[in-house]
């Protein structure tokens, strides 16, 4: 039995919404990096800012994926609880 509480299919916390505003595709990071790169006035700095923007965007995208996975894990656990609860009840009845 993986879920112990009597939630009966609890509504898990919404992990995906935690990253609101920085989800993949958000113009915030790209826009900031693009502005900084364009305003740098120096080739080295502009290139470094572009690289940083790429890596930060990738990291945020992966973080967003992980948060979504956490939410899915909680949902899955809740559903498993319901299934297990039915199974345990059945076993008790069988005895």
Partner 1 sequence: MIPLDGGTDFPYPQGDPGSLETAAGVMKGVATLLSGAAAKISGAAAQAAGSWSGPAASAFQDCVTQIHSGLSTLAGYHTDAADAITTYAGKLQGFQATASKAATDYGTAETDYRNSISTLSAEKQDKSATDAESRAADTLNTAYNHSYRLASDAVTDANQAALACATTISDLSGQAEATAKNQFLVLTAGRHAPLPSLLPPPKPGEKPKEGKGGIELSPVDWSNLLTTLYSAPAAWAVLRHDALEEEASAAKAYQKLVSALLRAGQSEGSSLPSAAAQAKAAVKAEESAEEMAEKILDHAPLSRVLTTSVKDGLPSKIADSLPDLAGKAADDLPLIGALFAAGGAAYDASHGEPVAQAVAGNAAGWITASLTTAGVVSLAGPGGWVVAGGIVLGVGAGMVVQTVIEHPKAVWHFVEHVFSSIF
Q: Which residues bind partner 1 (CB under 8 A)?
A: 1-5, 7, 10, 12-15, 18-22, 28-29, 31-33, 35-36, 38-42, 44-45, 47-49, 51-52, 54-56, 58-60, 62-63, 65-70, 72-77, 79, 84, 86-87, 90-91, 93-95
| CB 85, min distance to partner 1, A | 11
Q: Which of 12, 21, 22 is nearest to 71 (CA)?
A: 12
The whole-angstrom separation of Cα 53 and Cα 87 is 50
Q: What is the 3-state secondary structure (H, E, C) of 40-52?
A: HCCHHHHHHHHHH
| CB 25, min distance to partner 1, A | 14
């Amino acid at each position: 039995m993986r879920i112990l509480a009597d939630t009966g299919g609890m509504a898990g916390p919404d992990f995906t919404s935690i990253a609101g505003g920085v989800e993949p595709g958000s113009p915030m990071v790209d826009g900031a990096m693009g502005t900084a790169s364009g305003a740098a006035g120096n080739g080295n700095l502009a290139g470094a800012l572009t690289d940083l923007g790429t890596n930060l965007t990738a990291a945020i995208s992966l973080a967003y994926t992980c948060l979504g996975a956490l939410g899915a894990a909680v949902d899955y656990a809740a559903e498993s609880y319901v299934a297990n609860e039915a199974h345990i009840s059945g076993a008790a009845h069988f005895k």
